């Protein structure tokens, strides 16, 4: 059994156009989005922070300096979420490298109980694909 290094993010996929930091379940969704986007010539780097305290900012900032774009993806509400913290901390040290940032999160309402409403409430692969395409100036119809 190997132990996960505490405080070390894992770069799940190397990419050059956009950095996507996925939190928890959203790592899997980001990897699925990367497959869709790669078929359209968009390369995303997917980072799994694995721990939030401590947060491996060195890995995130290094990736953002390479790509110039940052998307955070979480399945919590957007207000005061971990995505906001990751973006704020990245901006503090890499502002001159960043062209654009976006957050993907749940709407700021209580989570619904109904399975169909839960599907609409929770962000996933499609939200990441749409956000990255907009960042890259691509039409969603393409």
pLDDT of residue 132: 98
**How many distinct helices (H) and strands (E) make up the chain?**
5, 5
pLDDT by residue (tens digit) across 76-100?
Answer: 999 999 999 999 999 999 999 999 9
Q: pLDDT grade, residue 142 (50/70/90)?
A: very low
- CA distances to 27, 41, 53, 85 from 105, rounded to whole Å, are 13, 25, 20, 13
Residue 71 and residue 18 in contact, taking contact as beta carbons nearer than 8 Å: yes
Q: What is the DSSP letter of 113?
A: S
Mean pLDDT of 64-83: 96
As a whole number, the mean pLDDT across the chain is 94
Whether the predicted pLDDT of 141 surpasses 60: no
Tokens representing 37 are 């986007």
- We find that the CATH architecture of domain 10-135 is 3-Layer(aba) Sandwich (3.40)
Per-residue confidence band for 70, with pLDDT thresholds at 50, 70 and 90: very high
């Amino acid at each position: 059994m190997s132990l996960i290094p505490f405080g070390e993010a894992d770069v799940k996929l190397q990419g050059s156009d956009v950095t996507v930091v996925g939190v928890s379940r959203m790592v899997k969704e980001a990897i699925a989005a990367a497959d869709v986007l790669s078929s359209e010539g968009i390369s995303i780097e997917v980072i799994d922070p694995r721990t939030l305290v401590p947060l491996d900012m060195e890995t995130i900032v290094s990736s953002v300096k390479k790509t110039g774009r940052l998307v955070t993806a979480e399945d919590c509400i957007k207000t005061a979420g971990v995505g906001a913290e990751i973006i704020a901390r990245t901006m503090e040290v890499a502002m001159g490298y960043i062209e654009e940032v976006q957050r993907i999160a749940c709407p700021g309402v209580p989570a619904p109980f109904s399975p169909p409403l839960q599907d609409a409430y929770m962000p996933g692969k499609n939200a990441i694909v749409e956000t990255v395409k907009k960042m890259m100036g691509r039409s969603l119809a393409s």
